[in-house]
Amino acid sequence: MGRSQLIAEKKAENESYRKRIANIKLNSLLEITKAINSNLPTDQLFKLYENVLIEALNIGKIALFTYNNNWNCVLKHGIDTDFKDIKIEIDLFKFKEITEVNLVASDSSSIETFDIIIPVYHKSQPLAYLLIGDLDEHKIEISPTIKHLPFVQTLTNIIIVAIENKRLARENLIQVASRKELELASEMQAMLFPDKLPDDDKLNIHAYYQPHHQVGGDYYDFIKLNENEVAFCVADVSGKGVSAALLMANFQANLRALFKHNSSLTEIVHDLNTLVFDNAKGEKFITIFLAKYNILTRMLTYINAGHNPPIMLCDNTMLQLTTGSIGVGMLPEIPRVREGVVHVSSGTVLVCYTDGLVEQNNEVGDDFGVEKLKEVMLKKQGVEMKKLNTNIILALDKFKQDVSYDDDIALFSCKFL
């Protein structure tokens, strides 16, 4: 056989090999694309990917690191190590493009056993790192690792991006479900507030509520006890969010039930303390301003259980209602409860509020404070309670400027006519 014939046969053999490998790569891409479109589980996608690298491309050593809350090696082949000496942020974050291991210094012996590092990025965010190498250290021809490098990079990007999209889709579904749950919780919480407050020749009442999130832990209520007596309260659960809202919902149901069977504010506060402490296991507590007003005698009886003192304004004279006890749920038993009693003159205004109002900060870290609330009350004497609350919130917005709200806010303003 002549030299020219040998060269021709070798050329034909190489061409046949290239076609076979090209078909394998094309079929692999089609199979993996079909698997992605069929939304196969992540572990099955990794299995297909592993088979292509090992069986079709003859890659000898493989380690694939991906991120899902933390970095983990999700695929390993041809190397017996636990990779404990690899610190992803230190050892691999510095690689922004394909790199030959022998061209860089590394403190990790595990990395040095590989030939190539292939990073997978989305914009500036690393999604994965693929380390590949050959088992035979005495290479005569071009190694599979080098020969198939562009295809390996393309395949890896396809797989990692597909898995990242699956992860983002799951997160999006969770977020959508969470938003729907919060919307439902917000609607349910809104039903707990009284849908109508008195505005007649005896009482002019208006309330304002703004949760920090969709649901919150602030609460106000108004209860007509009989023809001559009414009760009202403003309360604030320690903490924010759904857990605070759930505790407050339970509190509201218990409060209304206790008022039906008990006329003593002191006994109601003791009972509420037991219920809140048992439900919250001492981890949360509720501050309350609880009051009962007799329209005929014009006597206001109240207990301030650790709450921000409401401000009473009458003829330019201001009084803060502080008599009471500690917040409910702080201790298994409240050591002492005192009731305050105030005679209310016609035209008196009472503003009850939660700490989200007076503790709201501005851009330099100052809080709105009680004094600014008093200033608005004095300036707006004689207005309806709805307008008073509007002016209080306008003053707060002007004070805080671009600073976001820090907490839930509840306002309950009452004019005794």
Q: Where are the domains of the chain?
A: 3-170, 193-416
Can you say whether the dihedral through the CA atoms of 155, 160, 161, 167 is positive or negative?
positive
Q: How confident is the model at residue 164 (pLDDT cuts 50, 70, 90)?
A: confident
Report which listed range, 117-131, 250-264, 344-358, is most confident. 344-358
pLDDT of residue 140: 45
* pLDDT tier at 11, thresholds 50, 70, 90: low
Q: Please tell me the distance from the alpha carbon of residue 45 to that of residue 28, in angstroms, as a whole number.
A: 12
Asked if residue 377 has pLDDT above 60, the reply is: yes
Whether 10 has a pLDDT exceeding 60, the answer reads no
- Which fold is adopted by the domain 193-416? Phosphatase 2c; domain 1 (3.60.40)
- What is the 3-state composition of the chain as percent helix, strand, coil, each rounded to the nearest 5? 45, 25, 30
Is 272 within 8 Å of 251 (Cβ atoms)?
Answer: yes
Question: Does the pLDDT of residue 96 top 60, yes or no?
Answer: yes
Average pLDDT over residues 304-322: 95
Grade residue 184 by pLDDT with cuts at 50, 70 and 90: low
pLDDT in the model for residue 12:
57
Query: What is the radius of gyration, based on Cα positions, of the chain?
Result: 35
pTM passes above 0.85:
no
Taking 60 as the threshold, does the pLDDT of residue 104 lie above it? Answer: yes
Q: Span 294-312, mean pLDDT?
A: 96
Closest CA to 301 of 269, 271, 273: 269
Mean of the pLDDT values across residues 104-118?
Answer: 81
Report the share of the chain in percent with pLDDT over 90: 38
**Looking at the predicted structure, is the pLDDT value of residue 382 above 80?**
yes
126 Cβ contact partners less than 8 Å away, ≥ 6 residues apart: 67, 92, 93, 119, 120
Rounded to the nearest angstrom, the gap between the alpha carbon of residue 91 and the centroid of all alpha carbons in its chain is 32
- Structure token digits, residue 114: 């590989």
Helix then strand count (H, E) for the chain reads 10, 16
β-bridge mates for residue 72, sequence order? 66
Residues 150, 59: contact at Cβ < 8 Å? no
- Is the pLDDT at 6 greater than 60? The verdict is no
Percent of all residues in the chain with a pLDDT value above 70, rounded to a whole number = 87
Q: How far apart are CA 238 and CA 260, in angstroms?
A: 26
Q: How many Å apart are CA 170 and CA 164, to the nearest integer?
A: 10
Mean pLDDT computed over every residue of the chain: 85
Assign 9 a pLDDT band (cuts: 50, 70, 90): low
Of 102-106, 184-188, 218-222, 255-259, least confident by mean pLDDT is 184-188
- Which segment, 18-32, 74-88, 260-274, 299-313, is predicted with the most confidence on average? 299-313
Report the CATH number of the 3-170 domain.
3.30.450.40
Round to whole Å and give the CA distance between 247 and 268. 17
In this prediction, residues 391-409 reach a mean pLDDT of: 90
